[in-house]
């Protein structure tokens, strides 16, 4: 299991995106910056990059979405 937290701040809904990768499943959490409470949570298949990109573009800008997608692809 691999986990990475992206503290984006004002360019993201909530401010924090946490990516958890287990085997071939990816869980993407959107957390509040101050309270760390979960705002949104989605599960994806690791091969479903287009759906992940669409979801991330709703949460944050294209720039940060691309950074997170590149992290997922490099694992």
Q: What does pLDDT average to over the chain? A: 95
Whole-number pLDDT of residue 5: 97
Q: Are 18 and 31 a contacting pair, CB within 8 Å?
A: yes
Q: 2-73: what fold? A: Viral Envelope Glycoprotein; domain 2 (3.30.67)
Instruction: Provide the residue ranges of all domains of the chain, joining segments of one domain with +.
Output: 2-73
How confident is the model over 24-47, as pLDDT tens digits?
999 999 999 999 999 999 999 999
Whole-number pLDDT of residue 12: 94
Whole-number pLDDT of residue 37: 96
CA distance 57 to 66: 9
CA distance 68 to 53: 9
Tell which residue, 56, 3, 46, 53, has the closest CA to residue 25: 46
């Amino acid at each position: 299991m691999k986990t990475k937290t992206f503290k984006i701040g004002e360019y993201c809904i909530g401010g924090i995106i946490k990516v958890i990768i287990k085997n071939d499943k990816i869980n993407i959490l959107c957390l509040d910056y101050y309270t760390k409470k979960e705002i949104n949570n989605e599960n994806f298949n690791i091969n479903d990059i287009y759906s992940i990109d669409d979801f991330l573009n709703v949460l944050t800008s294209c720039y940060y979405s691309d950074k997170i997608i590149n992290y997922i692809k490099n694992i």
